[in-house]
Amino acid sequence: MLASRLLKRAPLKGARTLSSLSTNTSTVSPTLLAQSRRRVDEANSKASDQVGDALARRWLSAAGAAGSDTDRETIVRLLYSLASRREVSRYLQIFSSATHFAVLKVGGAILTHELESLTLSLNFLHRVGLYPVVVHGMGDKLNARLEADGIVPDYIDGIRITDARTLSHARRVFLSENLKLVSALEALGTRARPITTGVFTAEYLDQPRYGFVGRVTEVDKEPIEASIRAGALPILTSLAETREGQILNVNADVATAELAKVLEPLKIVYLSEKGGLYHGVTKEKLSLINLDEEYDALMKESWVKYGTKLKLREIKELLDHLPRSSSVAIISPDNLQKELFTDSGAGTLLRRGYKLYKHGSIEAVGQDRLRKVLAERDDEVTSKRKSVAEVLSNLEKTQFTIYGDEPFDCVAVVTHPDGETPVMTKFLPSSNGVLNAVTDNVFDAIKKDYKKLFWTAKADDENKAWHFERADGSFTRNGNSLFYYGVQDAGEVEKVVKEFEKSGRVERAFLPISYTSSKGTVPSSGTIASSFTRSFSTSTRPSLSSKAASTTTPRSTRSFSTTPSVFASSPAKRVALIGARGYTGSNLVNLFNSHPSIDLTHVSSRELAGQRLEGYDKANVTYQNLGIEDIKKLEASGEVDAWVMALPNGVCQPFVEAIDGVKGGKSVIVDLSADYRFDDKWTYGLPELYSREALRTSKRVSNPGCFSTNTQLLLAPLLPYLSASPSVFAISGYSGAGTKSGKEPKVTPESLGGAVRPYSLTDHIHEREAGYHLSSRLDHRATIAKEDFNVAFMPNVAPWFQGIISTVSAPLNKELRASEVVELFEQMYEKEKLVKVVKGIPEIKDISGKHGVRLGGFQVHSSGKRVVAVGVLDNLLKGAATQCLQNLNIALGLDEYAGIDLDF
């Protein structure tokens, strides 16, 4: 298991190593070499697994017996033996932030034959702070007990007939098996709570026909969530009760499905001895099933029948009830960590996914969408070696096919001129595409169309293990890797590479240097065989050396520049600003004026109509008084790529409805008012905390409020540790009160008399906004229920012009040190370019006129149970205009920070 993966870093003593096979590769055929390596890999793997499993058992058992609270970081480091640090961290973050991480269905056979593997896996998850909900069955234990009592088990349509005597035995077996699993977990130091009844309410399925068999009608999740709040794994039987209190037997698979429909977990895991679903003809394990794409065809296969067909139908029905983010995994207990924390997985993953497409023209795919993907993900474009226009122009000079899925989570391009070897020139997945294995679906679609294929990737590609796993051979030189499948003869590889050298279809940097001498000669096939030092990989993770290299590669940084960026090769995006007369509108005009890829083409203000727009030098723009009909015409003509609504609360709706009512309209709307911040059909635009992926595909974005932005950024890292609702005391400069007549402030320093004025001390709109959105991030670690969560907010206005300072006081459910609080903030915002975590107390002077947020002043009460933190931001910039530009950049497919000065 996990420790065994650590041992794979070096072969066991006495084993034949790979280097011993490679001393004279020039005389060994690639096929024989690959077979030999595979045998050695398998031998090393098997031997190290045996020793490793023993070490893992001893390590976890000793930790549990000693009652030690094993350092979570140490366990996480063990996970790094399964996959890269990036993979493990990504899954831990996703699972930890989910309201419910996973529901596990455990068959009775697992409890009988693989109890140790199961409990070690559950113990491991518990120690990293994850709480799967476990539902177990009875397996053959019930039949053995019935036969011992002289009762012959009987079934109708696969459903066990349960009379009174059978039910009595079933109840005893359930309680016995439940106690066995709970006891085994507690022996390892894992808290577990037996929940044998009280979750499932049922009615008789068909009493005359099946007896005491139930159909689940209600699920009470409170006992489960109470267990998790108490830090214990909930261990459930599938026994149900009628409203009158009669116990009924429910199939464990059925109970698991009904429970999942209520909890909506990210993962539904069926643990089985087989460890997955297998192809009925080839007998190979099915790694991934994309139901939207494959279900109908799969159900028509001759080998899909009986139990397999029933299982697929039940899983399809279950996933149709759940969010697309949910998936089902069928896996053995000892491979549970690998399935959960690696991209490659170990069992069979079933997900709804999306239907795939393939097109032979850019127009069929959608040029704008393709341009956006290239601009965001293509290394040639992001490194500025080529523009998007150059990539598309080169593509149209040859025959090609574009593959992908409907939401563009993975896009691939294969060029295939007549009579030449196909080359996958682009493979561009999003992080979501990697996470949900869309990459596998797209690659499998390509593999169906081409018996052989070549492609390239950088050696430091974070998904390089994925490439190695799908290649029959590869060559790496100077950080560039060439992969291929479907070619087994070294002579043919030599011939293909020579073709690439002549045609230029593959960059020279990716070709073996021995193939391309200065005279254009090609070495003998023996030299070629020795060039390919890795013809086959049985490992789904990168080698230790490559992993280390990837973690030490310097991260590219993006700084502010007024010079045109890579996106300037595309036509500038045209933006219309509605309500441009106030402080926020003025700041937006300044930002657009220096933006390399956005042109402000229309500004609307009733009071200023006919006047020239000051502060905008790119073009001569005049204020207009745009009415509903004017907006409809502009939208219908396609003259505007995005609308920014800088209007007071309650005014925006008619304008939005006008744009929505235009058939074929494609523009983006960013609304700065509060009108749509609680509308789930709109994307809430706080990129540092909520989904950037959603923003990339969204056409309707609600911009957060200034106080709310500061509050949420201050509280987000503390959410798992809250014991009750927090309080926030905040002070804003008087510009936050807005203007009258275009330029005059509603509140003046003179009217404040140099003092601070409290206002709207209850039910402030930003109070409700912060509580509403933060509650979606609460998970089981917080001891406050989502429905009880709110923010006690006390706003004030001060005699300085711009800038907000907020002080949070948050009660904790566990003792924390100030250094631990700082670490929480640093971890959450490590990669955020507009958030800085500072040691001291941030001040208004540090942030006024700047685009970012500073968080600091972390102090913990002597009890360790209350933390105080301070945040500052400019209410007109990151609290409004800068955040609007962030959202606009993302939604328009531009660099998120284009036009934003990152120096603050």
**Which residues carry out catalysis?**
706
- The position carrying tokens 């502060």 is 615
- The contacts of residue 114 (CB under 8 Å, 6+ apart) are 273, 332, 333, 334
Of 290, 238, 253, 233, residue with least CA distance to 102: 233
**Owner of token pair 């795919």:** 365
652 touches 682 (CB < 8 A): no
∠ CA 293-296-297, nearest 5°, is 85
The residue type found at 198 is: G
* Continuous segment of H or E residues that includes residue 179: helix 164-187
Dihedral sign from CA coordinates of 161, 167, 172, 177: positive
- For residue 66 the two structure tokens come to 């000693």
Residues 638 and 641: their CA atoms lie apart, in Å, by 7
Phi, psi of 256 (to 5 degrees): -60, -45
- Residue holding tokens 């077996």? 173
Q: DSSP assignment, residue 843?
A: -
Q: How far apart are CA 180 and CA 171, in angstroms?
A: 14
Query: How do strand 668-671 and strand 642-645 relate by DSSP bridges?
Result: parallel
- HSE, side-chain direction, 13 A CA sphere, residue 642: 28
Q: d(Cα 457, Cα 770) in Å, to the nearest integer?
A: 43
Q: What is the dihedral of CA 269, 270, 273, 276, to 10 degrees?
A: -80
Burial (Cβ within 10 Å: 0-12, 13-18, ≥19) of residue 106? buried
What's the CA gap between 232 and 122, in Å, rounded? Answer: 11
In terms of Cα–Cα distance, which of 313, 309, 212, 227 is closest to 263? 227
Residue 334: CB partners within 8 Å, gap ≥ 6? 1, 53, 114, 117, 121
Task: Give the 3-state secondary structure of 349-418.
Answer: EEECCCCEEEECCHHHHCHHHHHHHHHHHCHHHHCCCCCHHHHHHHHCCCCEEEEEECCCCEEEEEECCC
Strand, coil or helix: what is 117? helix
Residues 6 or more apart whose Cβ sits within 8 Å of residue 886: 685, 687, 834, 896, 897, 900
Q: Are 856 and 870 in contact (CB under 8 A)?
A: yes
Q: At 615, list the tokens.
A: 């502060």
